[in-house]
Structure formats: structure tokens, C-alpha cells
Structure 1
Amino acid sequence: MTEAELKRFPQHVFGQSFTTLKCEGAVYLPWLEKRLTGDGALMLTRRIEDLWELHPSFDIVVNCSGLGSRKLAGDLTIFPVRGQVLKVHAPWVKHFIRDGSGLMYIYPGASSVTLGGTRQKGDWNLSPDAEVSRDILSRCCALEPSLHGACNIREKVGLRPCRPGVRLQKELLVRDGQRLLVVHHYGHGSGGISVHWGSALEAARLVKECVHTLRTTVPKSQL
């Protein structure tokens, strides 16, 4: 950042400025779903307690259950990192501001500005914490004083599905002589939207390998 730009942030001695893309999940995910169903995919909503409940209706399962993989895949290495943010109406804010380790940020969007945030490892609480909200607003107003005039303040809480590393691999489940091919695809933490396209392509490649396995091991009479 230039000296002139840094004058807006007198408590900082240096900064970086750049142009980037911002993807809003609330709009992007419905678009992806519409694209998928438009290509002929069938969307079903169903609660399951065990991956085997999907057999024999499905030969291959892609497990994207996130934190649900603690139970569905028996993966106790996955854990939540709680995030609490505020959504406010402040249409005059046009540039994002991110401070330090990323726990303080201001992200303008199409219909609201996101103020954050928290990174609470192992916390499953989905209820907003009023004290945390006050702290977020105070810290963000220190960065951008005009936010004192923000209105329509809403609290949002989410759990990021984290683990020591993303699990993107095949697994063959066997029970009572039956086989179920699974492609695990979860554990992206807070970076899922950033790497989703490449990660999905790799998952699709693994699914193709599973299809090849089925075609070469299952008798033609059963295909």
C-alpha cells in the first residue's frame, strides 16, 4: 500500500493492496445445483446414519458429509472450527479489508457486508454469542469507522469441517460379501470455496476409476 493509503490505518505500519475475485456461496451454490439438474441429475434429500443404507441403490458413493464423516466414515480426526460473523447493510463500503491473521475482516458483497470473525477450534455451538458480536463490530469499526452507521445487523454462525489434511481418496467397504465403493471428499476447512473446482475434478477422476473397477470386476450379466 502507498503512504497515502496507509493513512487510513494509522495503527499499521505496512499493508498490501490487490484485486481479486469474490464468490458468494449463497448465490453460487444454487447456480451449481441448477446447472446440475439442468444436465439431467436427480436431486434427493434423505437423512442417513450409515453409508450402507445407500446400498444396493447406489454402487458408488461420494462422501462429502463434512463433519458428518465422524459418524458416517468413523473419522475422528475431523473437527469443527466455529466461525461467527455479522452481516450488515453498508452499501458505501466497496473494498475489502483484512487485518493480520485474518480474524478481522470486512468483505462487501452483493447485498450485504460481512464482518468477522472467529476461529474457535472444537466448538460445536451454533448459537450466536452476543459478546462476540459486539467485539467483532467494535474491531471492524476501528478499521472502517463508517461502519458505525451500518444497519440491519444480523448474526451468522457456521462450523468449518477441518482435519489434519483434506481427505480425497477411494475406499472399498465390504460387508457380508457385499461391496460398496466410496470416494471420500471432505475436510476442506475454511478453504473449500477456494479449492472446490480442482478438488471436485480430482474426486470425479476417482469416481471414474471406481466405474472402471466395477466394469472390470462385475460379470456382464449383472451390469
Structure 2
Amino acid sequence: MTDRELKRFPDHKFGQAFTTVKCECSSYLPWLEERFRKAGGRVEQRRVSSLQELGDGFDLIVNCSGLGSRALVGDAGVYPVRGQVLKVEAPWLTHFIRDGDGKTYIYPGVHSVTIGGTRQEGDWRLHVDGGDTASILERCGRLEPSLKKAKVLAEWVGLRPSRRNPRVEREKVLLQGRGVPVVHNYGHGGWGVTIAWGTALDALGLVRQSLKEMPQAKL
């Protein structure tokens, strides 16, 4: 950033400006699901407490259960990182602004501006925290004073499924007396959308490898 541009941020001595893209997950995820359906996939919603429940119906399992992998496959290395954000009405903002530590950010979107945030490791709370809301408004207001007149449209909390390293690997699990290959793909933390295509391709390679070994498999 130039010296003139940095004057907008008196608390900072260095900054970068660049062009990038933002993925609107509220639109992106339904698009992915529709693409899956058109390719012949079927979506079924039900609670699975153990992989043993799937042993008699499938010859191969892809585990993308995120935080659920703690219970589903006994992976104690998976932990939540709580994130809280606000959606505000500020159509005059058209540029992303992000503080150096990544915890304070302003991301304009199609319908609103997302401001945040929090990064609270080991925190399972899913309710909105008033103290976090006040902190987000104060921190983002320092970066962009015009936000003080923005209307808060919504508050949202999510848990990032984190792990020291994302788990993308294959193992054979004994399910109801049969050895069933399980391809794991989880633990992406706050970078799920960013690295999803890459790890999905790796997982797909493991799936193909498994199918070659049992051509009559049911996925």
C-alpha cells in the first residue's frame, strides 16, 4: 500500500493491497450439491453414530464428517475453533480489509458485509456471545470507521473442524466382519473452502485406487 493509502489505518505501519475472489458459501454449497445430484448422486440425511451402521450397505466409505470424526472414528486430534461473525448492511464498502493477525476482517459480499471475528480453540459454544459481538464491532470500527453507522443484520457462530494436519488417507476398517476401505478427508480448519478442491482430488485418487481393487464395489 502507498503512504497515502496507509493513512486510512493510523495504527498500522505496513499493508498490502491485492485482487482476489471471495466464495459466497451460501450460494456455493447449494451449487455443489446440485452438481452432485446431476452427476447421479443421492443425498440422504440421517444420524450415523458409528461406521458399523454402514457396514452392511456399502463397500467403500468416504469420511468427511469434520468434528464428527472425534466420535465416528475416535480421532481425538480433531478439535473445534469457534468463529463468530456479523452480517452488516454497508453497501458503500467494496474492498476487503483484514488485520495482520487474521482475527479482524471486513469482507463485502453480494448481499451484505461480513465482519469478524473470533478464533477460539477448544470452544464448543454455538450461541452468540455478546462480548464477542461488541469486540468485533469495536475492532472493525477501528479499521473502517464508517461501519459505526452500519445496520447489523445477523450474528452467526460456527465451529471450524481443526486438526494439526488435515487427514486425507485410506485405511481398512473391520465392519460387521468385512474389511471395508474408508477414505478420510477432514480436519481442514478455517481453510476448508480454500483447499477443498485439492484435498478432494487426493481423496478421489484414493477412492479410485480402492475401486480398482474391488470392481464390484458399492460406494
- Shared fold (TM-score, shorter chain, > 0.5): yes
Q: Which residue of 1 aligns with 2:108?
A: 108
Partner Cα distance (2:46, 2:167) in 1: 23
Q: Alpha-carbon deviations, 1:80-125, whole Å to 9, x = none?
A: 0000111111111100000121011000001111111110000000
Q: TM-score, normalised by structure 1?
A: 0.94
SS of the residue 1:101 aligns to: coil
The 3 A distance-change label for structure 1 pair 46 and 4 is: same
Q: Residues 117 and 136 of structure 2 are in contact (CA less than 8 Å); yes or no, is this contact kept in structure 1?
A: yes
The Cα RMSD (Å) is 1.3
Q: CA deviation at 1:150?
A: 0.6
1:76-155 equivalences in 2 (<5 Å): 76-155=76-155
What letter is aligned with 2:200?
A: A
Q: Alpha-carbon deviations, 1:50-83, whole Å to 9, x = none?
A: 1121122111110000000001110001000000
What letter is aligned with 1:41?
A: G
Q: TM-score, normalised by structure 2?
A: 0.96
Q: Which runs of 4+ in 1 moved over 3 A?
A: none
Partner Cα distance (2:170, 2:135) in 1: 43
Q: Which residue of 1 aligns with 2:16?
A: 16
Where structure 1 has 5 or more consecutive residues not aligned to the other structure, the ranges are 219-223
Q: CA deviation at 1:155?
A: 1.0
Q: Alpha-carbon deviations, 1:148-195, whole Å to 9, x = none?
A: 111133211000011110000001011453121100100000001001
Partner Cα distance (1:147, 1:38) in 2: 42
Partner Cα distance (1:93, 1:175) in 2: 53
Partner Cα distance (1:170, 1:68) in 2: 18
Partner Cα distance (1:53, 1:35) in 2: 27
Q: Which residue of 1 aligns with 2:61?
A: 61
What letter is aligned with 1:157?
A: V
Where structure 2 has 5 or more consecutive residues not aligned to the other structure, the ranges are none
Q: CA deviation at 1:215?
A: 3.2
Counterpart check, 1:182 vs 2:175: no
**Larger RCO: 1 or 2 (CA < 8 Å, sep 6+):** 2
Q: Residues 51 and 175 of structure 2 are in contact (CA less than 8 Å); yes or no, is this contact kept in structure 1?
A: no
What letter is aligned with 1:104?
A: T
SS of the residue 1:76 aligns to: coil
What letter is aligned with 1:96?
A: F
Q: Residues 86 and 152 of structure 2 are in contact (CA less than 8 Å); yes or no, is this contact kept in structure 1?
A: no
Partner Cα distance (1:176, 1:204) in 2: 25
Partner Cα distance (2:177, 2:184) in 1: 22
The 3 A distance-change label for structure 1 pair 42 and 133 is: same
What letter is aligned with 1:91?
A: P
Q: Which residue of 2 aligns with 1:191?
A: 191
Counterpart check, 1:43 vs 2:47: no
Partner Cα distance (2:22, 2:175) in 1: 45
Q: Residues 52 and 180 of structure 1 are in contact (CA less than 8 Å); yes or no, is this contact kept in structure 2?
A: no
What letter is aligned with 1:118?
A: T
Q: Residues 78 and 163 of structure 2 are in contact (CA less than 8 Å); yes or no, is this contact kept in structure 1?
A: yes
